[in-house]
Amino acid sequence: MASSSSSGAGRVAGTLALRSGSAVPAASLIPGLPDDVAAVILCLLTFPDQSRLRATSRAWRLLLSAASLLPLRRSLRLPRRHLLCLFPTDPSLASPILLDPAAPTAWWPLPPLPCSPQLYGLANFAALSVGRHLYVLGGSCFDARSYPIGHPSPSAAAYRLDLAHSRHYWERLPDMQIPRGSFACAPAPSGGVVIVAGGGSRHPTFPSNGSRTDSTEWYDATARTWRGAASMPRHRAGCVGFVAHGAGDGGEDEFWVMGGYDGYTTLGGVVPTDVYCRNAVALGLWSGNWREIGDMWEEGERRRLGPVATLSADDGMITEVFMLDGNDIFRYAFATNRWLREATTRRRIPNTESCGFVSMNGELYVLRSAKVPVEASGPWRQLKKKLALEFQVYNPGTKKWRVLTTHPPVDAPIDFRTAALCTVEL
């Protein structure tokens, strides 16, 4: 037992020394406990608790930093752990917020994006995380100089926030080669690289007015530059993307682009409406070539692709793809190119309400914004309605549901047609 504790303490000390670049203080992390046991205890705390406890000591600050926690959790073989990052509205006006599912009452605000005096109403942007970095890419925005006339224009802006820093700030990255909003994007398996494809510009109120593109590019974080890749077979916007491990010929990793729209038609020759895609396309990350995948559903089966969430294995590779269609969750079968019904939400959601859909820690989260009655403090104990976020959580492994409610620090109900979601592993 003493030998095991000393080796664990050595691993923790080595991690802290590597992070700090100097000798580790002689004091134990928690007096009376071996350092390996103390490290496990600190790693299992919720994100809000870890953030508050960083000020306890220098050793705790180094251990609980974003740069140290993830590799340490992996070395200790602890389960993967994700936080939810929610962008309720325009990120230059409202702060994005983090939530640890293990502590659903504590929201953690991040700084808003730098605000441009010439632009407003940023929507249809992409948010994703790569390691300890949080990215916000592109979007559609209005020119303040033409207010209130005009349509939104696509943005090429790219921002990155390093969650390892104690003081969070957004770093402006080089612009994408092609401005785009409502596009597909995903981190590449090699790490430090983001792939984007398709997109254009869409009006948040009148979505059928907009542009489309077939361009593809990827960001090399080491070289700090965007590089072009082979264009998609046709224009596509409003789509989603993910990297599927070994889905191509010879086990090639592929960047898949699903759903979206590739054209417009009119109803009665007057009202414009989108022509939605029933197929998908995939870019081979080794070959650099696109291949077309046939229609994923028959005519009349559904109108469009719903929100998509992916589950990954312990190595981070995508293994399962799910879609929320109304009140049903479907699982994508790569072998047959079909969506198979997996489950139905525990609580029915009206068709008039928008929902968020995201995966965290091996579970699928269906998010719904609502007002719930709460008992106000005071002698009268009146019931008032308070903004809340309802999570219906489905575990594909156990086929079971659970429901929890939290109160995000927002002033208005969240519209998930314009809000952005992503997960962060820390």
Domains of the chain and CATH, by start: 2-75 (no CATH), 82-352+418-425 (2.120.10.80)
Residue 134, token pair as written in the block: 């949080």
Q: Which of 242, 188, 246 is nearest to 218 (CA)?
A: 188
Q: What average pLDDT is seen over the chain?
A: 83
- Let me know if 329 is exposed, middle or buried by CB neighbors in 10 A (0-12, 13-18, 19+): buried
- Whether the predicted pLDDT of 6 surpasses 60: no
Rounded Cα–Cα distance for residues 156 and 207 (Å): 19
- Whether the predicted pLDDT of 16 surpasses 60: no
Are 216 and 228 in contact by the 8 Å Cβ rule? The answer is: yes
Residue 350: Cβ within 10 Å count: 7
- Whether the predicted pLDDT of 9 surpasses 50: no
Residue 231, token pair as written in the block: 């264009």
- Whether the predicted pLDDT of 296 surpasses 80: yes
User: What is the reported pLDDT for 34?
Assistant: 84
Q: Quote the percentage of the chain above a pLDDT of 90.
A: 42
Lowest mean pLDDT among 204-218, 289-303, 360-374: 204-218
User: What is the reported pLDDT for 62?
Assistant: 81
The pairing of strands 308-312 and 318-325 is: antiparallel
- Whether the predicted pLDDT of 13 surpasses 50: no
Q: From residue 236, how far is each of 231, 244, 272, 280, 390 by CA, in Å?
A: 11, 19, 17, 10, 32
Per DSSP, the residues of 85-122 read EEE-S-TTTS--EEE-TTSTT-EEE-PPPPPPTTEEEE
Residue 369: Cβ within 10 Å count: 21
User: What is the reported pLDDT for 284?
Assistant: 92
**Mean pLDDT of the region 286-306:** 92
- Let me know if 125 is exposed, middle or buried by CB neighbors in 10 A (0-12, 13-18, 19+): buried
Residue 408 sits at the vertex; the CA angle it makes with 404 and 413, to the nearest 5 degrees, is 100
- Let me know if 69 is exposed, middle or buried by CB neighbors in 10 A (0-12, 13-18, 19+): buried
At 115-162, the pLDDT tens digits run: 887 778 888 899 999 888 899 999 988 877 766 556 788 899 999 998
At 279-290, the pLDDT tens digits run: 999 999 889 999
Lowest mean pLDDT among 117-131, 221-235, 305-319, 383-397: 305-319
The pair phi, psi for residue 415, each rounded to 5°, is: -95, 105
Tokens 């928690």 correspond to what residue?
Answer: 30
Are 83 and 100 in contact by the 8 Å Cβ rule? The answer is: yes
